[in-house]
C-alpha cells in the first residue's frame, strides 16, 4: 500500500472526485481538509469514500474539550481512518477526542504547522526551535493516549525516537524540483520516509500537475 495520502484541497465536488479517481492507483488514501469539508460536509466525505480508499479527515479540531469531543462524536459515523486535532488544545482535549472517536479512527495531533518557521513561532510567544516545540507537543500527545502526531519531515526522526510506536503524518512534502508555495519546512518524499514518516501528505505537487496521475506515479517511484 502506498504511504501517500493525496490532499484533495478543492471546494469543487466534481473536481475532487476526478482527482481522486485519476490518482487512486498510485496513492494509499485521500486526505480531505477544511476547504472540501466546509463546502460539502459529511455527505461530500461519504461520496469520496465510495471510491474505496481510506479517508483522512484533516479538520484540525481545536476548542475546549467538551466541544471537540462532541464534534468528534458527530463525525464518528464516518469512521475516517485518520482524524486530526491540534495538540496545543491541551491534554484533556486530546484525551476526550480519542475517547469520542470511532475505534477505527486514528486520532493524530498537529504539532507545528509546516507553513511556520522558528520566527513565526516566536511571534506567537513560543521561544526555541521548531524541533523543541514539536517534541514538547509529541510528548503531550503520547501521554494523552492518542495515536500519533503531524509534523514536518525535519522533525520526524526526533519525534519517532521519542515515541517509537507512534504514527507519524508528514505534510510539507515536495519532490526535489517542486514548487514550495506557502510551506516553510519541507523535505522530499524519500527523505520523510527515511526519517520515520508513517504516511506522507502530498497535495499540490500532484493535484496541480498537468497530469495528476503521472505526477502521483512519478512521486511513488521515488519511494
Ligand X SMILES: O=c1ccn([C@@H]2O[C@H](COP(=O)(O)O)[C@@H](O)[C@H]2O)c(=O)[nH]1
List residues with catalytic annotation. Answer: 60
Q: Which residues bind ligand X (CB under 6 A)?
A: 7, 9, 33, 58, 110, 113-114, 150, 171-172, 181, 183, 201-204
The residue nearest ligand X at its CB is 203
Kindly state the smallest distance separating residue 26's Cβ from ligand X, in Å: 15
Helix, strand or coil, per DSSP, at residue 32:
strand
3-state SS, 147-186, equals: CEEECCCCCHHHHHHHCCCCEEEECCECCCCCCCCCCCCC
Rounded (10°) CA dihedral 77, 78, 81, 87: -80
Kindly state the smallest distance separating residue 30's Cβ from ligand X, in Å: 11
Bridge partners (DSSP) listed for residue 108: 84, 148
For residues 99 and 180, which CB has a smaller minimum distance to ligand X in the complex? 180
Q: Is 182 annotated as a binding residue?
A: no
For residues 103 and 210, which CB has a smaller minimum distance to ligand X in the complex? 210
Q: Is 217 annotated as a binding residue?
A: no
Scanning 12-90, the segments in alpha helix (DSSP H) are 13-23, 34-49, 65-75
Helix, strand or coil, per DSSP, at residue 6:
strand
For residues 90 and 175, which CB has a smaller minimum distance to ligand X in the complex? 175
Kindly state the smallest distance separating residue 201's Cβ from ligand X, in Å: 4
Which residues are documented as binding site?
A: 9, 31, 58-67, 114, 174, 183, 203-204
Amino acid at each position: 500500500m502506498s504511504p501517500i495520502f493525496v490532499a484533495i484541497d478543492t471546494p469543487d465536488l466534481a473536481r475532487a472526485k476526478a482527482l481522486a479517481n485519476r490518482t487512486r492507483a498510485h496513492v494509499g488514501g485521500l486526505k480531505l481538509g477544511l476547504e472540501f469539508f466546509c463546502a460539502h460536509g459529511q455527505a461530500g466525505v461519504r461520496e469520496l469514500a465510495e471510491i474505496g480508499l481510506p479517508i483522512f479527515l484533516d479538520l484540525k479540531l481545536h476548542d475546549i474539550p467538551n466541544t471537540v469531543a462532541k464534534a468528534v462524536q458527530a463525525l464518528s459515523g464516518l469512521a475516517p481512518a485518520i482524524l486530526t486535532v491540534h495538540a496545543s488544545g491541551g491534554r484533556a482535549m486530546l484525551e476526550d477526542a480519542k475517547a469520542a472517536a470511532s475505534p477505527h479512527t486514528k486520532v493524530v495531533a498537529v504539532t507545528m504547522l509546516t507553513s511556520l518557521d522558528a520566527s513565526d513561532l516566536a511571534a506567537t510567544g513560543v521561544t526555541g526551535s521548531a524541533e523543541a516545540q514539536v517534541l514538547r507537543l509529541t510528548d503531550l500527545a503520547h501521554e494523552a493516549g492518542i495515536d500519533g502526531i503531524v509534523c514536518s519531515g525535519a522533525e520526524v526522526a526526533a519525534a519517532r525516537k521519542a515515541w517509537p510506536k507512534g504514527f507519524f503524518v508528514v505534510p510539507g512534502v515536495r519532490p526535489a524540483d517542486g514548487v514550495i508555495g506557502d510551506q516553510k519546512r519541507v523535505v522530499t518524499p524519500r527523505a520523510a520516509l527515511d526519517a520515520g514518516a508513517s504516511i506522507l501528505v502530498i497535495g499540490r505537487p500532484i493535484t496541480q500537475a498537468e497530469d495528476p496521475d503521472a505526477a502521483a506515479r512519478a512521486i511513488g517511484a521515488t519511494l
